[in-house]
Amino acid sequence: MDRTNQVWERAIPVSEEEIISLVKQFDTPLFVVSEEKLLQNYRAFQEFFPGIEIFYAVKANPHPFIIRTLKEIGSSFDVASFQEIELVSSQGVPPERMIFANTIKRKKGLRYARQIGVNLMTYDNEEELKKIAMVYPEAQLLVRIKTPSNGSRANLSYKFGAEPDMAPELLLQAKNMGLKPAGISFHVGSPCSNVNNYLYSLQKVSEIIEKVSGEISISVIDIGGGFPLSLYEEEGDESLEAFSKAINPHLQEFLKDGYRVIAEPGRVIVGSAAFLITKVIGKAVRSGITWYYLDDGIYGTFSAIPFDKATFRFLPLRESKEELPAVLAGPTCDSLDVVAENVLLPPLELEDLIVVPDIGAYSWASATNFNGFERAQVVMI
């Protein structure tokens, strides 16, 4: 593999020599976060969506370094639990820079949110309103609506979101209960490859605002996350830049009319900001196919494969003109721990390194210590 090729240069912000140096210092598996790339992604979102408030989705990657870095450049945060509120607060983020964006909340989380002053939150059903009325009646509420998820890998309207036609009733219900309905939210699924999901959802938001006009003053519109991993159109049609050209004119109209518009990007901020270095710890030939066993697997950083339905590129440091189909497997004793099949790789040996780019989101966050294997060590560069 030619280390000067564009694939390596675009995907990995360091050289092969620096990779080897990191491994000598920290061993593997190693989850490497690039501060420069993290900031680049955040600033690109600001550039493409001017005036939109960024609430980074903590669930994408809750590492304290990421939260601190984003806090320092002005980000707010989308939190979904008592634990995430506590984590973000511990990094010095004030409560007004958080949204409790889980439509089904534990009372413990609601009590803690009230205690420290996180008062912006979502709901999508009557029972949740009753819970909020009991625990945190002064909270400001956004009704979350169900949206199309065509072209999205994860359908986030399967489990959450009221039918758009029910949203006016839920807003009025909140008002009649003495609560404070303040806005509308949606999430088109993640990652989204169909910009029409956003356009449809924004149209529904406008219709709901019209229906409750005169009875409820809507002030906040939350467009959720789900943005593509790629930033620029030169990287492909499904890019943040391309999406912004279609969506942003509508958002600017909302801003012009005095609405506060917020977004909850996670993947697009952190996805390409981290890469994994993993090592070949075993090798076997099974039914004529070479299996390489890695020191990270499905129960570790590659948890993004079952949970996020992700696919990854595997960039070995060993160079060879020959490439053959191979299987990559994780280190645990579970036969489910197979990372990828039919991967074209050069012949590898024990201790060889493989670098996996674009693995920053929904990977390390959902990794476990199953079978006693520790999660990949995190290093910031």
DSSP letter (8 states) at residue 92: T
- Is residue 373 within 8 A of residue 302, CB to CB? The reply is no
3-state secondary structure 289-354: EEEEEECCCCCCHHHHHHHHCCCCCCEECCCCCCCEEEEEECCCCCCCCEEEEEEEECCCCCCCEE
The backbone torsions φ and ψ at residue 156, rounded to the nearest 5 degrees and listed phi first, read -90, 10
- Count CA within 13 A, CB hemisphere, residue 246: 18
- Residue of 342, 337, 326 whose CA lies nearest to 373: 337
Distances (CA, A) of 306 to 27, 269, 276, 337, 341: 26, 21, 17, 10, 14
Sign of CA dihedral 50, 55, 61, 63: positive
Catalytic entry in 333, 342, 349, 372: 333
- Is residue 84 within 8 A of residue 58, CB to CB? The reply is yes
Alpha-carbon distance of 280 to 353, in angstroms, equals 6
Task: Count Cβ atoms below 10 Å from residue 107 Cβ, excluding itself.
Answer: 13
Taking the chain, what is the end-to-end CA distance rounded to the nearest angstrom?
24
Whether 333 is a known active-site residue: answer yes
Would you name the residues annotated as active-site residues?
Answer: 333
